Every structure is written in C-alpha cells, then in structure tokens.
C-alpha cells in the first residue's frame, strides 16, 4: 500500500498524489479531493521512513529523563507525548537511569532518528549538552545553558512561599535539604530560600547534597534534627516523605513536633499520611510547553538562533504536614 497505489486509484501521477497528501495547495481542489478519497478508501498510511529519507525530517521527538519511575516524570511524559502526537509527532522516551555515560551515548543514537529532543536531566555536564545542542535542537527542562531553549519552573518563588508559610506559622529555625550536586532546581531553591529566610528574619540551615529519593530523605534526618530546626523543606516530595519516615523512627511526629514541606506535588505526596504540604510543580504544562518550544524551533527553520525561555509558575499547596511549632519545645 504505497503512494503509487493511491495515485493509480485516483488516476493521477505519484507526484501529484504526493502534493495532495502533503497539504500542498499546489494542486487543484478537485484533484486533491480525489486523491484524499482514494487514500482514505485504501487505508493508505505514508511510510515515515521514506518520508524522512527525502525530507530529512523524521517527525519523531526524543524525551530523555533521568528516571521514569520517579513520580515527578510520568505526568510530564504523558503530557508531552499527547501534545506531540496531536501535532503529528511520535516520541521516543528514554531513561538514563541517572547514568551520564548512558545519556551521552543515547543522545548520539537518538540524534539521527529525531528532529529534536526534550532533555530533563539534571546530571549531564553543561559542556556535553552544549556540544550536543550544536547538532540538534534541544529544549531543556529546569536547567539553563546559554544558547539553548528551556522551560523553567519557578521553584525559586515556590521556595520563598514555603519559607514564608513556615515563618508565618511561627517557625524561626528552618532547614533546607538540598538535592544532588549540580541540580539547577536545588541551586534555585537554595538561593531563594536563603533570601526569603533573611527577609523574614528566621534562621535557615542548608543541608546536602542528597540523593533525590526517599532514601536521601531518610539519610538526612539525623542532620536535620541536629540543626534544631522545627520546619524543614525537602528537595522534592520523595525526600520530604523520607524525612517524615526518618523522623518517625526517631519518635518525632509531623507536623506536631516538626513541619515538613516537599516540592513537586506528586501522587506520592498526596497519598502520604500526613498529606504533604508541597510546592506544586507544573509538570504537565512543562511537558506541553517543551514540545511547543521544540516544534516552534523546528518549524521556524532557524534552529540555531531561536532560543526561547519560558518560566512556569509554581504554587504552594498547604496540606497536613505543616503546623505551628510546638510551644513546649520552642
């Protein structure tokens, strides 16, 4: 079932059929309709490989994430993939498992099969990305590299709101449990939270780096307790949940003895007991926006100099893991 069959059925030449199919208005309306009808009747589907070979465009996108199983990603993947599909693109989803070597190899392989890639990976070194970005349109998520487009989430503002929330409840000694070294999100939080704490006149101890997982949170518990903080902000929901678990083992109750805030607003946080107060990250919108930016770059035809940055708002979702400090303890 090739374009040949369609052309024959419609009584036109292949090239005419091709034109009719590729939305060219270079073909008389009546002819186009005849071709389209024939294609529909025969159930014709273009061979994307052949199309890619001539045009040099695959209509495929790559989406590279560090860990599909981290609940931060599924909504982003889901949204990106749905958005791309509506626009006629399929997406390869690849998981680097936080392994930088895998990642670089992966990008190289993918490079020939996609028109662009959305990269949500905190670990790969800037210069590697920059080099790779020379060959292929990239859109970064939650990461900034000069010359590359990016979708950013305003986690700085989220961190400020988190500090303000805790300070407003009466906490005067806070702790921030940072994420992995080199994480843009972590750096943003650190800076913004530090400033907000200074503004509010409360103390903030910055702890880390830590693994962005429940284990990371558990591991950080002892250190948090050592600071004497009564309010703590975790790098993400998983870390916050780990913290709550770790605290529980030390007999410290949340939120009665200590308040905990996460970041991301994942299912995990919603299901946790106590339900987690968290900075909601717009993961689904970020997925859509990243795809938009990428397609915009691709379709503008000027891949090299069409750098765009979009920042998406975050918001604080107050649930049950935060409360005023226990007066009896201070």
CB under 5 to 8 A by kind: which of DNA, its own copies, none does 142 bind? none
Provide the 8-state DSSP code for 90. E
Based on the shown chain and the rule CB under 7 A, indicate whether residue 22 belongs to the binding site for DNA. yes
Least distance from C-beta 287 to its own copies, angstroms? 10
Number of residues that bind DNA (CB under 7 A): 26
Least distance from C-beta 191 to its own copies, angstroms? 30
Q: CB-wise, 2 or 315, nearer to DNA? A: 2
Can you tell me the distance from the alpha carbon of 97 to that of 123, in angstroms, rounded to the nearest whole number?
11
Based on the shown chain and the rule CB under 8 A, indicate whether residue 169 belongs to the binding site for its own copies. no
Provide the 8-state DSSP code for 122. S
Can you tell me the distance from the alpha carbon of 28 to that of 50, in angstroms, rounded to the nearest whole number?
25
Identify the bridge partners of residue 261 per DSSP, sorted by sequence position. 233, 277
Can you tell me the distance from the alpha carbon of 31 to that of 10, in angstroms, rounded to the nearest whole number?
8
Give the three-state DSSP class for 116: strand
Phi first, then psi: give them for residue 263, nearest 5 degrees.
-140, 135
Name 112's Cβ contacts closer than 8 Å, sequence gap at least 6: none
Q: Residues in the chain, how many?
A: 330
Q: CB-wise, 36 or 219, nearer to DNA? A: 36
Give the HSE-up count for residue 287: Cα atoms under 13 Å, Cβ half-sphere: 22
Based on the shown chain and the rule CB under 7 A, indicate whether residue 50 belongs to the binding site for DNA. yes
Figure out which of the listed residues 10, 27, 110, 290 binds its own copies, where binding follows CB under 8 A.
Answer: 110
Least distance from C-beta 131 to its own copies, angstroms? 12
Q: CB-wise, 130 or 206, nearer to its own copies? A: 130
Figure out which of the listed residues 37, 55, 228, 300 binds DNA, where binding follows CB under 7 A.
Answer: 55
Give the three-state DSSP class for 184: helix
Give the three-state DSSP class for 30: helix
Can you tell me the distance from the alpha carbon of 218 to that of 212, in angstroms, rounded to the nearest whole number?
11
Figure out which of the listed residues 14, 36, 68, 187 binds its own copies, where binding follows CB under 8 A.
Answer: 68
Can you tell me the distance from the alpha carbon of 103 to that of 88, in angstroms, rounded to the nearest whole number?
26
Judge contact between 262 and 318, C-beta under 8 A. no
Based on the shown chain and the rule CB under 7 A, indicate whether residue 302 belongs to the binding site for DNA. no
Least distance from C-beta 72 to its own copies, angstroms? 11
Least distance from C-beta 97 to its own copies, angstroms? 7
Based on the shown chain and the rule CB under 8 A, indicate whether residue 46 belongs to the binding site for its own copies. yes
Give the three-state DSSP class for 189: helix
What angle do helix axes 14-21 and 3-10 make, rounded to 10 degrees? 100
Q: Please identify, among the stretches 80-88, 155-163, 189-197, 299-307, the one whose residues bind its own copies according to the rule CB under 8 A.
A: 80-88
CB under 5 to 8 A by kind: which of DNA, its own copies, none does 250 bind? none
Least distance from C-beta 28 to its own copies, angstroms? 28
Can you tell me the distance from the alpha carbon of 326 to that of 330, in angstroms, rounded to the nearest whole number?
6
Figure out which of the listed residues 53, 198, 222, 313 binds DNA, where binding follows CB under 7 A.
Answer: 53
Binding residues vs its own copies (CB under 8 A): 45-50, 52-53, 58, 60, 67-69, 71, 73-75, 77-78, 81-82, 85, 90-95, 97, 106, 108-113, 241, 267-268, 271-273
Binding residues vs DNA (CB under 7 A): 2-4, 12-16, 18-19, 21-22, 26-28, 30-32, 44, 46-47, 50-51, 53-55
């Amino acid at each position: 079932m090739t374009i040949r069959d369609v052309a024959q059925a419609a009584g036109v030449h292949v090239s005419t059929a091709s034109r009719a199919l590729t939305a060219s208005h270079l073909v008389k309306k009546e002819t186009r309709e005849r071709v389209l009808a024939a294609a529909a009747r025969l159930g014709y589907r273009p061979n994307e490989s052949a199309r890619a070979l001539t045009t040099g465009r695959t209509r495929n996108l790559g989406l590279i994430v560090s860990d599909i199983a981290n609940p931060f990603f599924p909504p982003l993947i889901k949204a990106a993939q749905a958005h791309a599909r509506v626009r006629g693109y399929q997406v390869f989803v690849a998981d680097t498992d936080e392994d930088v070597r895998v990642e670089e190899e992966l990008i190289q392989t993918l490079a020939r099969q996609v028109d662009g890639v959305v990269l949500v990976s905190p670990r790969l070194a800037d210069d590697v990305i920059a080099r790779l970005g020379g060959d292929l349109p990239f859109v970064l998520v939650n990461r900034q590299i000069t010359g590359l487009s990016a979708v950013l989430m305003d986690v700085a503002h989220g961190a400020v709101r988190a500090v303000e929330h805790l300070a407003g409840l009466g906490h005067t000694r806070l702790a921030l449990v940072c994420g992995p070294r080199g994480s843009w999100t972590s750096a943003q939080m650190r800076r913004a939270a530090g400033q907000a704490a200074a503004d509010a006149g409360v103390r903030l101890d910055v702890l880390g780096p830590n693994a962005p997982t429940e284990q990371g949170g558990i591991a950080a518990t002892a250190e948090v307790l050592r600071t004497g903080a009564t309010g703590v902000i975790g790098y993400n929901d998983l870390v916050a949940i780990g913290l709550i678990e770790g605290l529980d083992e030390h007999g410290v109750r949340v939120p009665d003895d200590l308040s905990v805030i996460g970041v991301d607003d994942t299912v995990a946080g919603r299901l946790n007991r106590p339900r987690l107060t968290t900075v909601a990250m717009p993961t689904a919108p970020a997925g859509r926006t990243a795809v938009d930016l990428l397609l915009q770059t691709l379709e503008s035809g000027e891949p090299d100099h069409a750098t765009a940055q979009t920042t998406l708002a975050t918001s604080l979702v107050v649930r049950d893991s935060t409360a005023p400090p226990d007066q009896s303890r201070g």
